[in-house]
Amino acid sequence: MPPRQPQHDATRRLVPSLAGRIHLVEQGTGPLVLLVHGFPEFWYSWRHQLPVLAAAGYRAVAVDVRGYGRSSRPTATDAYRMTELVADNVAVAHALGERSAVIVGHDWGSTIAAHCALLRPDVFRAVGMLGVPYAPPGGPKPSTVFASTGGDEEFYVSYFQQPGRAEAEIEPDVRGRPAGRLLRGAVRRHHACSGRPGTVLRESGRHPARPVPHRPAARPAG
């Protein structure tokens, strides 16, 4: 492991990619560790890992995957194929002046990270996967697996795979719709698993830094 380094402030920037731009937050210096979030998240999911990795002597970079946060949001469905997502992460590494990186993913980001290592081993020398294991080709279709997941409740991935349904149900009345309950439940689970407040970013590039609001997790009674 690299020697422990002094703490660095986190900064944000936009880098070019095939999608147009990828927004990222970085902290520290040393070997590059690229962090890829899941659904429905963005770089902020890695706010606790960024300073820890930086203190351990790594250049920790958390991206907004295309379609999320401040990254570009192409309208074409084909723009979200796995090969395009892999190309974005390669573009990020190259834009940062790095020839290789370790890539770590969580949830859907685990699948992206695995394919980055499979398709571009010349760039991604190691991979970490959190929450979702590697699934080799073959076996049942993901849609079949999703349909049997979640028990009596509809699995959220299946819900959002139905064109137009979420847009029709969330926007008119978030509070009283199934999607509203789904998203509120996800937020509650997020806060229950959260720890200390996120790092305050300093300004880098075009976007001024602002603290991200955070509500500490409630302590159990008794």
Q: Classify domain 1-137 by CATH number.
A: 3.40.50.1820
Q: What is the pLDDT of residue 65?
A: 97
pLDDT digits (tens, 9 = 90+) for 180-208: 555 554 444 434 333 333 333 333 333 33
Q: What is the pLDDT of residue 207?
A: 37
pTM over 0.85: no
Q: What are phi and psi for residue 194, nearest 5 degrees? A: -80, 155
- Tokens representing residue 85 in the block: 């997502």
Q: What is the pLDDT of residue 136?
A: 84
Where do the domains of the chain lie? 1-137, 138-203
